[in-house]
Homo-oligomer: A and B are copies of this chain.
Amino acid sequence: MMMDLLFPYPAHERLGKQLAFIMETDKLKTILRQSYISDGTRRENDAEHTWGLTLMAITLAEHANMPELDLLRVLKMLIVHDLVEIDAGDTFAYDTAGHADKVERETAAAKRLFGMLPEDQSEAFFALWREFEDRQTPEARFAAAVDRLHPMLLNYQTGGKAWKTHQVHAGMVRERNRSIADGSVALFQYALELIRQAVADGRLLDEPQPGGE
């Protein structure tokens, strides 16, 4: 396989760095998630997942808690939010062990990847990623809300495929996705409906029965 980087573009050092970053981050297409695409035929990758989130964001922005959302910043955050997984891998939502050192692994990844860019841009992209992770601004909270809702839709649509593989129960899904309400109460209400319905039609396990009684 051809592994040499693009030739440097002599007259434009900035453009050379930017294009090297673009080619390096193309690897996002090879990072697999636990969710299946809507026809259930294969797991989705981080790049197509990210596109799905950007489409959700522009379609569902009216449901954000904050009416005057800076949608451009939401989109920028979403576009870069999973790049760190190129180095750090995808950590499954319900994998507690994997979450222990997630912050360190992802911070190192952010430094390496965004560090390929010209310095001003490197800082700007790093800040976008931190903003998304910190969930403090209305934009970050709405971006995080669609990031949580999207896999639930795919899970529902594929008959609960990833939920069943990982023996995820309704209580875990409710707990994990509670933060959707921070970005959009309307989407959170829908998520609760979706969970109820998924349990009702056997796509999602109800709470485990304690002691098997």
Contacts and interface: CB of A to CB of B under 8 A. Distances in A.
A66 interface: no
A91 B56 CA distance: 26
Contact of A153 (B6, B44, B156): B6
Contacts of A186: 12, 15
Given A59-B121, A197-B7, A19 B153 contact: yes
Given A1-B39, A72-B71, A153-B19, A58 B30 contact: no
Given A15-B190, A27-B38, A2 B158 contact: yes
A153 B22 contact: yes
Interface in A104-156: 117, 121, 153-154, 156
A75 interface: yes
A81 to B, nearest CB: 11
A51 B47 contact: yes
Interface residues of A, number: 62
Interface of A: 1-2, 6-7, 9, 11-12, 14-15, 18-19, 21-23, 25-30, 37-41, 44-45, 47-48, 50-52, 54-56, 58-60, 62-63, 71-72, 75-76, 79-80, 117, 121, 153-154, 156-159, 186-187, 189-190, 193-194, 197, 203
